[in-house]
Structures are given as structure tokens and as C-alpha cells.
Structure 1
Amino acid sequence: MTQVSHDSTRLSRELSQLDSIFSKPTDFTFAQYSFGMSKVAKAPRTKIRGTFSWALWDWAQQPYPTLMQTFIFPVYLASAVATMDQKPDVQLGLATTIAGLVLALTAPVIGRRSDEAGRRKFWLMLNTYVLVIITALSFFIEPKPEFFIFGLILYGLGSFVQETAFINYYAMLSSVSTPKTVGRISGYAWGLGYAGGIFLLLIALVGFVLPDVAWFGIPQEDALPVRSVFLFAAVWIAVFSIPLMLRVPETLKKPSFQRQSIFTSYKITIREILSLRKQAPETFKFLISSAVYRDGLAGVFTFGAVLGTLAFGFDQTSIIFFGIAGNIVAGIGAAVGGRLDDILGSRTVIIASLVGLIIAGTGVFVFADQGQITYWIGGLILCLFVGPAQASSRTFVSRFTPDGREGEVFGMYQLTGRALSFLSGLMWSASISLSFVFGVTSNNTVWGIWGLMLILLVGLILLLRINPNPKINFTK
């Protein structure tokens, strides 16, 4: 946490910097609302509220990745709804793959249109409330095999809608920050998201999953306590997204905007991709390198629970407790990483985070025979470095994207990430399979770590080739 020195010279410098931050109409600061950093009471409240409201959306949407994509809904589908003959693990992967392919095809066009037509907030809020509807509909998935396909449709559709929302959300970052505060604001938004995940897991665990009688007297029949978590998640998203709708200004339409067909949009998108390589070549290269290591980061979360269960003997409740601890640590890492981002630069923070991840992952494998303490220590260190790597990645894109192309470039950011989303699953499975070839006969699951570490290492090598302070040609 940032502490203001009592030294008068330093205090003067701090106040001077804050004054410069608030000197422009579109510049906001999040510092006064985050993690006890409020030191100046006279800053323009409307500007602060706009930035805080933008960051709060990370908190608002957190039920989807935490409850609906990771810890509860997919587990409910696989264990309570589907039968083993329906191969729920394979089907869930297929639903995710289809959603990723659709996103890969549409993300750049969606982003480019948001740049040209404006209305980023409108499309973000539309996606948000569609996500609310999808989350609420999940309540109607009863624990019967005939509901499994409906559940898969909601699971895949929700993944697509959420990722589409992120395109416009990320593109708004530059409008609620300054070059000096963009890393801090991005990091605190991630921190708010992780904090939201902690509260959600605690509420789900204490209020619905563990007790014999769930909150509000909900009976145990037909898995109603677990299904009620989905209604709770929908209400959470709807309520906490309201501040962004009210406080963050809308993006205006470009004067040159003209309505275009989907085909024309794709043609122009291809041309824009080629022009980005000329206009901001380092940003273009970063999109490629980040696609690799971001899939490794996703794999750490995706397979972390599997690793804890199969390799270290954690039960469902223990995994949820670990998820709570992991979110706390990741939130702290994101907040600290955001501050370091503004001081050291995005690339430096990402490099340090990837090195830390590789060392921690290697440690989990090497000391796996020490039991659950290895998973707790190594896993939490992994969580510590995941947050800064994620937050600084979007900060790098925001810093070094040409003005007016934010939505388009963040669409490519989503596209490149999704285009390689098969890597972590492939390398995880291949590494475990190789352990059998090497004659390993026990705890083969832990070998999957090597596949994820290899992805992170390749992403790190590609990142080292990128200029940390690239020059941008502002003419296409």
C-alpha cells in the first residue's frame, strides 16, 4: 500500500503529481478509492467516480469466471447433471472450444466497430445484462441428464458473451486513466475482481454449499442450494454494473463512420491488422507473444483445481478454500504489480511475473512428494504472479495502441488469445502422456505442470524480443 511520507518535500511532489493527473477533462485517478490510498480530499469527485465505476465492473462480472466457469457451474454439470456416458469433461471442453472459435472470428470486427461507431459503454452494458440473463437461466438446469445439453449451451454462450464484453471494457481503459496512472488503475481493477471472487466463494460456501439448511431456508431437493448460487450471481452482476452505466462517459462516434456489411468489416479488419504491424509493430509483436503466455496463465487456473484434486488429494471443499486464498494473493499481486507497472513499465513487470511463475511451477513438481504443503505454498506463489502478468498485459496494449484504435486492438488481443487457447490443454495432456512413456507409474498428473511451464517459457522468450518503450507511428 502506498504511504504518503511526512517529509514536506515529498508531500509537495505528491500533490503536484496529483494536480497534473486531474488537469485534463478525461483524466481520472483510482488511487483515492483503492486499498486505503485516499490522501487528497479535494480531487474532482466526478472524475474519481468515473474511474472507480469502470474498475468496479471487474468486481461486478466476477461471478462468471469464479462461479460459472470454474468452481461451481461446470462441476455441477459434470457431477450432478450429466452421466459418465455423456462424457461431461469432453463436452465442456468442446463447448469452450466452439465459443472460442466464434470469438476468434468476431472479436476484431466487434472491436473495430466500437472504435468507429462509438457506444462502447452501450455494447458493454448490453453484453453485461445478456450475461445476467444467461447466469439466471442456469438456475433452471435441474440435476437430470436431459438438461445437460441446455447447460452446455448456456456455458458456451456465456463464455462468448463475457469475452465480447471484455473487448469494449478493455478499450475504455485509456479514457479513464492517464499515461502515468494506467498501470495502477488496471492493477486495482484486477484487484477488485479478485476481491469479488473471494467474497463470492465465501458466500457460496457458507451460505449455500456447506450448511444442511441453506440461507433463506432453501431446501436440499433437486440441488436447489447450488442452483440458487446462480441466481445470486445474476443479481450480483446486475447490481454492481450499474455504477459504470451511470458514471462513465459514452464514447462518441467518429465523424467518418459509415455503416458497413459484415463482409466489408472483415475486409477492412484484415487491412487494419496489416496497418497495425506498420503503425505499431511492437504492439503487434506483443499481441503474438502475449497470446502464448496468456494461454499458459489460463492453464494455471484451468488445471490448478485438477492438479490439487488428483495429485495432492484435495477434496471439493478444500479446493474452494484454496480458491479463496488464491484470490486474496492474486489480488495483492495485481495491486502491487499495478504500482510497479507505472514505475518500471509493463514489460518489466510481465517478465518478472513469468520468471516467478516458472520457478514456482518447477518447485511444485520437484517437491510434489512433500504432499499438500507443496500445493499450498507453490500454488499461492503461482497466484501471486498471475495477477500482475494479467493486469500488465492489458496495460501494455493500452499504453502502446494508436489513438482511436483501442477497441480494434483489444479485439485482436482477444483474438490472438483465443487463437492459441488450445495450447495449454494440449501441452498439459502431452506432458502427462510422456510421463507414462518415461516409465512413471504414480502421480502422473503432476507432470502436466511441465507443459504449462513450457508455454510460459516460450512466451517469455518472445516477450524479451519486444521493445519496452516502442515508438508508434500515428499515421497509418
Structure 2
Amino acid sequence: MCRMTEYPPAAAFPPVAPAKTPGTPRQVIAWSLWDWGGAAFNAVMTTFIFTALYLTGDAFGGADKATATLAFALSISGFAIALLAPVAGQRTDHSGRRKLWLGINTAIVAVLTAACFFVQPHESYLLFGCMLIAAGHVFFELAGVNYNAMLLQISTKKTIGRISGLGWAAGYLGGIVALLIVYVALIKPEVGVFGITSADGMTYRAVALFSAAWILVFSIPVLLAIPESAPDPNMPKVGFFQSYRELFRTIALLWKTDRHTVYFLISSAVFRDGLAAIFTFGAVLAVGSFGFKTGDVLIFAIAGNVVAAIGALSAGFFDDKFGPKAVIVTSLVGLLVSGGALLFLDGKNAFWFFGLILCLFVGPAQSSARTFMGRLAPEGQEGELFGLYATTGRAVSFLAPQLFGMCIIIFGAQRWGIIGILAVLLLGLLLLLPVKAPPHGKSAL
């Protein structure tokens, strides 16, 4: 095995320079609002409302069948993300069109979300609905490549943890507000706004239209406040398929000069897949295995987002002080303990207690994984490295959904899908432990 290099990377990958000027408060807030808007897709559509209360319900063939179908659809979307994300990031680095593609991909997510309005409550529409959600995940991740790369435009090595945590917290708080609006305007009343009722699934279909509008509105500030990234004058324009050749060269160079970055990409791929599964299937489990009703899910969602926001904000300060690896390891251990307890306990109270503990640790793990990558990304290659980050995160994104679905099929009950999620989190933790942590805080300046 070749000798591991110290951080920062070797000369072939120039060290990351701190931002010449930190982002203004206006730019930081505008950047965070994209996460706020994205909560409509993450919290409302894929976690707590549309999939949990509608798409995986009895109208679509029952919870077990619908949940397994959704899981397999999401695993397919993972392959698409793995194929497209690194090249998308690389090409925006070279062309200087990071903001343009953030806007385009976000708009596509909004269109796919709005199309969920046409998913009628019948088993024949199950595959259509799952395909829309899965496609939305693809374009949301592609948008996220450019969004994450923007983090390095508005932060320094001293503040990246706090700004990243602020973005995650904004996403959780945006989820709270969106869920409250949906609950008060559509879910709770027998007759909602504009005379909408539950007939023909119209309540949940209208939620899709609301979510699409929410995504579009809150994606506008970042497109106005943050300047377009500069193109790389040293990189020639290459075709789409030739971009993969350049990508393989980048990976080979990383392997030779900074192997710990490769190790982190692999370990984070695994544990982030487990984190995504918690969000995707958490509410589904609450309804199908712990006796939660519609109102229970929404109240838990609000409380869970508050706890997660607190966790993400706190993680930002701990990240800048102790480094992202310490935050991630602590969070994964907390997730394994609380998730393991839910495997053996029954009832709403158990889910409330340990579910909120899960929420507390998920945000820090997500936020610090992003800052870990941000501290490693060479200047001018942020998009490509975050593209690799997205790709490795999705290269095994079939793993947790597949294991979740397989455990349901093998053991014959939805609850046992938890085993699949815990196995992925444990594997990610074991792979992360030998990875060398990057510099953080003042020592990186």
C-alpha cells in the first residue's frame, strides 16, 4: 500500500484556499433558503406526507407492497445519480455555469413534484407515483451538487461548519413551516382551502402542487444573491462522454495523491445511504408499525424537525472546534443505539422518545459530512468533488432501500426493515474510523 499523504493534498491537487472575502449575511441567508425550499420535497413529499400517508397506503395495495415498490424505485434512482452527478459537477466547474444548472435542476424537481397531482388513489398508479418520486430524487441530487459547491463560495475554513449547519437547520425549519401550512390548510379540515376534500385523494394531490410552488419560490434568492462561478480557463471544452475519461483521471489522481479522500468518499457513501433511509422510511414505519395516525405523524414531524434543526446548528459549532469526523462518529453511534431500541420496542411512546433521538443525530451527521468534503475539495474543483460525493453517496444508494425491502419480505413485517438500515449505518461507521480527519478551524487558515 502506498504511503498516505498529509492534508492538504499533494501538488497535483492544489490546496484549498480560503475564500478571499467571506460571504455576506445576505448571501448566506439566500443560500440557506434553498435548503428551506427543498424541505417541501424532502419533508412533505418523501418523508412525512405524500409517501407516508398516501403513496404507501391501502389504496395502493397495502403498506408492505407499496413500501417495497417505493424502495426498489429509489434504488434505481440511485444508479442514475451515480452515473450523472460527478460529470455534472465537473462540467459546471469547467464552464462556470454552476448557478444556471442549480436553477434548471431545481425547476425540474418542482415540475416532477407538481406531476404527483396526477397520482390517483388506485393500485395502478403506484408505479407512476414511485417513478415521479424517484426521478425527483435524481434531479434534487444533481441540483445539490452545485448547491453544495456554492458553500465554498460563501465560507472560509473557519466558518464552513457553522454555515453548513445553518443550511441544514434552515431545511428542517422550512419543513416545519411547510408541514404546518399543509396540516392547517389541507390535512386537518374536512374541507380545506379552495373547497378541497379527501375525495379521490385530492387532499394529498393538492399537497404536491403546494410543494412545487414552495420549492420554486425559495430557490429564487440564491440565484439572485450569489454570483455565477468563474469558468476554468485551463480546461478545454469536452463532450459529455469524454467527460467520463476526465473523471476517471481525477479519481486515479486522487488515489495516488490523497487516498484518504477516496476512503472518506467510500465511507460517507455508506453511512449517508443509511441517513437517507431514515428520512425516507421513518414516517412509513411510524404509521405501519407503531400505530401513528395522520395527526400523530404531522405533530411528530414538527417536533422532529425542531430537534434536528437544533442538532444541525449545534453541530456547526462543534464541527469548527473539533472537526467533522468527531461529529460524524458521535452521531452514528447515537443513531445505532436509538435505532436498535426501536427494533425491540412497541407503541407510540417508544417511537416518540427514540425517534426524536434519531432526529437529533441525523442533522449533525449530514452537515458534518458535507463540511468534511468541503475541507478537502481543491479550489476550482469543488463541483467535481461534490459530484463525486453525490455519486459515491448514490453508488450504494440501492443498499439501504434494498436491505429495508428485503428484510420486510424475509421476515414478513414492515418493522424488520429497521435491521437493513442499522446494518448500513454500522458499516459506514466502521469504514469511517480509519479515515484521517482534515484540518479544521484556525489550524486550517
TM-score (norm 2): 0.88
For 1:3, the equivalent position in structure 2 comes to: none
Contact 1:81 1:147 in 2 (8 A): no
For 1:64, the equivalent position in structure 2 comes to: 41
Which whole-Å deviations, capped at 9, do the CAs of 1:57-111 have from their partners, x for residues lacking one? 1001111111222233334334376456995434323332222211111111111
Alpha-carbon distance in structure 2 between the residues aligned to 1:293 and 1:453: 10
Tell me, yes or no, if structure 1 residue 333 matches structure 2 residue 328: no
Structure 1 runs not aligned, ≥5 long: 1-22, 29-46, 437-443, 472-476
Structure 1 53/85 Cα, relative in aligned 2: closer, same or farther at 3 Å?
closer
Query: Where do residues 127-166 of structure 1 align in structure 2 (5 Å cutoff)?
Result: 127-144=105-122, 147-166=125-144
More displaced, 62-71 or 151-160?
151-160
Alpha-carbon distance in structure 1 between the residues aligned to 2:274 and 2:72: 19
For 2:225, the equivalent position in structure 1 comes to: 247
Structure 1 133/61 Cα, relative in aligned 2: closer, same or farther at 3 Å?
same
Decide which of 175, 184, 189 is 2:153's aligned counterpart: 175
Larger Rg: 1
Deviation at 1:165, TM superposition (A): 0.4
Alpha-carbon distance in structure 2 between the residues aligned to 1:392 and 1:86: 34
Residue 322 of structure 1: SS of its match in structure 2? helix
For 2:420, the equivalent position in structure 1 comes to: 451
Tell me, yes or no, if structure 1 residue 465 matches structure 2 residue 434: yes
Deviation at 1:299, TM superposition (A): 2.3
- Residue 26 of structure 1 aligns with an amino acid whose one-letter code is T
Alpha-carbon distance in structure 1 between the residues aligned to 2:63 and 2:366: 37
Tell me, yes or no, if structure 1 residue 389 matches structure 2 residue 377: no
Structure 2 runs not aligned, ≥5 long: 1-17, 441-445
Contact 1:311 1:446 in 2 (8 A): yes
Decide which of 95, 98, 123 is 1:117's aligned counterpart: 95
For 2:273, the equivalent position in structure 1 comes to: 295
Deviation at 1:236, TM superposition (A): 1.2
Residue 154 of structure 1: SS of its match in structure 2? helix
Q: Which has the higher contact order (CA 8 A, sep 6+)?
A: 2
More displaced, 410-419 or 254-263?
254-263
For 1:323, the equivalent position in structure 2 comes to: 301
TM-score (norm 1): 0.82
Tell me, yes or no, if structure 1 residue 284 matches structure 2 residue 262: yes
For 1:48, the equivalent position in structure 2 comes to: 25
Aligned residues: 422
Which whole-Å deviations, capped at 9, do the CAs of 1:215-255 have from their partners, x for residues lacking one? 23334443333222222112211111111111011101111
For 1:354, the equivalent position in structure 2 comes to: 332
Which whole-Å deviations, capped at 9, do the CAs of 1:351-394 have from their partners, x for residues lacking one? 1111111222233345x15x322211111001100100000001
Contact 2:120 2:201 in 1 (8 A): yes
For 2:241, the equivalent position in structure 1 comes to: 263
Contact 1:280 1:400 in 2 (8 A): no
Structure 1 430/225 Cα, relative in aligned 2: closer, same or farther at 3 Å?
closer
Tell me, yes or no, if structure 1 residue 27 matches structure 2 residue 4: no
Structure 1 281/138 Cα, relative in aligned 2: closer, same or farther at 3 Å?
same
Query: Where do residues 343-382 of structure 1 align in structure 2 (5 Å cutoff)?
Result: 343-366=321-344, 368-369=345-346, 371-382=347-358
Deviation at 1:293, TM superposition (A): 1.1
For 2:171, the equivalent position in structure 1 comes to: 193
Contact 1:191 1:331 in 2 (8 A): yes
Contact 2:35 2:167 in 1 (8 A): yes
Alpha-carbon distance in structure 1 between the residues aligned to 2:279 and 2:322: 27
Q: Percent identity?
A: 45
- Residue 460 of structure 1 aligns with an amino acid whose one-letter code is L
Tell me, yes or no, if structure 1 residue 232 matches structure 2 residue 210: yes
Alpha-carbon distance in structure 2 between the residues aligned to 1:260 and 1:404: 17
Contact 2:94 2:237 in 1 (8 A): no
Deviation at 1:183, TM superposition (A): 0.4
For 2:394, the equivalent position in structure 1 comes to: 418
Deviation at 1:427, TM superposition (A): 3.6
Alpha-carbon distance in structure 2 between the residues aligned to 1:412 and 1:157: 19
Contact 2:372 2:438 in 1 (8 A): no
